[in-house]
Amino acid sequence: MIDKSRIQYLEQLWSRTHFLLGDEACAYGAIYAGCDFFAGYPITPASEVAELLAAELPKAGGLCVQMEDELASIGAIIGASWTGARVMTATSGPGFSLMQENIGYAIMTETPCVIVDVQRSGPSTGQATKPAQGDVMQARWGTHGDHEIMAFAPSSAQECFDLMFDCFDLADIYRTPVIMLMDGEIGHIRESVTMLEPSTVKRASRKKAEPGEDLFGGPELVPGVMHYGEGASIHVTGSTHLPNGMRDVTTPRVHDELVRRLYRKIDENREKIIRVETDISTGGNARIGVISYGATARPAYGAVKAARAEGRDVDFLRLITVWPFAREQVTDFARNLDFILVPEMNLGQISREIQRFADCEVISVSKIGGVPHSIDEIYQAIMEAMR
């Protein structure tokens, strides 16, 4: 059910020509995808997400609050989610670090929410205004304890817009936090963005529990939900709990069943969650492949095209879903290859993951320092590997 004021807002928005920063495209995508509540704290290079939502979200019938810090921001969206709202926050590395504990809380309490991390060069304050992809493993394992997580990496301003639909829908379908893993490069380039006609927008919704039904367990991997104000007594806790939500932190079986179910509800639905894009060279004889994601996928693909123009067969795979990891797709992609090159703006975080599932040699083409790879740098790495 899309709110009337939202429809009116989108009607006057969609048909214009949009030339947007990735951050702005992400914010508009959130409004389109039905974000009702945003709470955040400004930080380069994510501030434009909050800036745009502060100006626009109220016009679309939503609410935007600047909180005192990132801990409060994620706390606010988790609380708001339990009223049935679609919720989001946006930050960068230092703020993302502060949010980790509550990301775990959202996982454990099965609270749908979207966390945008526009990655910048770290650790710590690092190069505050420079892009990086150093939070990939933090997105996976930043919060403690066993868990699965979803994260998406856009490679264009258009994809910053488009992927917000996936983020909000998957958060609702699987009752879990979803991470929009942008980078400062994509967040701060401006490109043309096409929006959808509002009447064609489809949104998933949370499965509703029947009165008296358990909200934190039961026969399904994803239990139905009731929200505050809908008549149920709800106990929401980050401690290990029974299907009815009440704490039981001592019975091994209760913890085992709960945490395994939280893991399985994402792991067993990988097929529905994972999206990759592949471009296999026409010759079909490639011995070498390139896998990349986010901003780095752009020059990586440019380098693949340049190598092909020289008559070299090179395959290409772009991870759109970074987590859960596209292990079957990577295994398949690697099947006839001798080498896979993995350009990324970190010291090889995804290349090691690829090595786990690829039966060939994996070469990390890492770069840090705040300047993205050039096409030529990746092209040279391809030529080097071919020698």
Partner 1 sequence: MIVRFVGFGGQGIVLSSYILGLSAVLDGKRVVQNQSYGSESRGGECRGDVIISDQEIYELEPTGHDVLVAMTQPGYEKLVVSLKPEGTLIVDSDLVIPDAGLSPPGIRTYSIRATELASKKFGRKIVANMVILGYMNSLLSLVTVESLEKVISQSVPDGTQELNVKAMLEGIQLAMKDS
Among 86, 175, 188, 261, binds partner 1 (CB under 8 A): 188
C-alpha–C-alpha distance, residues 60 and 109, integer Å: 29
Among 38, 165, 301, 333, binds partner 1 (CB under 8 A): 301
- Give the shortest CB-252-to-partner 1 separation in angstroms: 51
Residue 161: phi and psi, rounded to 5, are -70, -55
Question: Is 185 an interacting residue with respect to partner 1 (CB under 8 A)?
Answer: yes
Q: Report which of 381, 373, 300 is spatially closest to residue 339, judged by C-alpha positions.
A: 381
Question: Is 375 an interacting residue with respect to partner 1 (CB under 8 A)?
Answer: yes
Among 5, 11, 15, 19, binds partner 1 (CB under 8 A): 19
Among 61, 79, 245, 302, binds partner 1 (CB under 8 A): 302
Cα–Cα distances in angstroms (integers) from residue 43 to residues 51, 125, 134, in the given order: 11, 11, 16
Closer of 355 and 366 to partner 1 (Cβ) = 366
Among 5, 12, 125, 192, binds partner 1 (CB under 8 A): 192
Among 1, 17, 68, 202, binds partner 1 (CB under 8 A): 17
The contact mask relative to partner 1 for 107-146 (x = CB under 8 A, - = no) is ----------------------x-----------------
> CB of 166 within 8 A of CB of 333?
no
Residues that contact partner 1, how many (by CB under 8 A):
21
**HSE toward the beta carbon, residue 108, CA cutoff 13 A:** 24
Among 191, 214, 279, 332, binds partner 1 (CB under 8 A): 191
The one-character DSSP state at 199 is G
Question: Is 308 an interacting residue with respect to partner 1 (CB under 8 A)?
Answer: no
Greatest Cα pair distance in the chain: 69
Question: Is 298 an interacting residue with respect to partner 1 (CB under 8 A)?
Answer: yes
**HSE toward the beta carbon, residue 288, CA cutoff 13 A:** 19
Among 305, 308, 331, 368, binds partner 1 (CB under 8 A): 305
b/e for 303-332, b at 16 or more Cβ within 10 A? bbebbbeeebbbbbbbbbbbbbbbeebbee
Question: Is 189 an interacting residue with respect to partner 1 (CB under 8 A)?
Answer: yes
The one-character DSSP state at 208 is B
Cα torsion 76, 270, 315, 279 to 10°: value is -80
Tokens coding 173: 């379908």
> CB of 258 within 8 A of CB of 215?
no
Question: Is 12 an interacting residue with respect to partner 1 (CB under 8 A)?
Answer: no
- What Rg do the C-alpha atoms of the chain give, in angstroms? 21
Question: Is 173 an interacting residue with respect to partner 1 (CB under 8 A)?
Answer: no
Using the contact rule CB under 8 A, the part of the chain among 139-147, 210-218, 251-259, 374-382 near partner 1 is: 374-382
- Give the shortest CB-32-to-partner 1 separation in angstroms: 20
Interface contacts to partner 1, rule CB under 8 A: 17, 19, 129, 185, 188-192, 295, 298-299, 301-303, 305, 371-372, 374-376
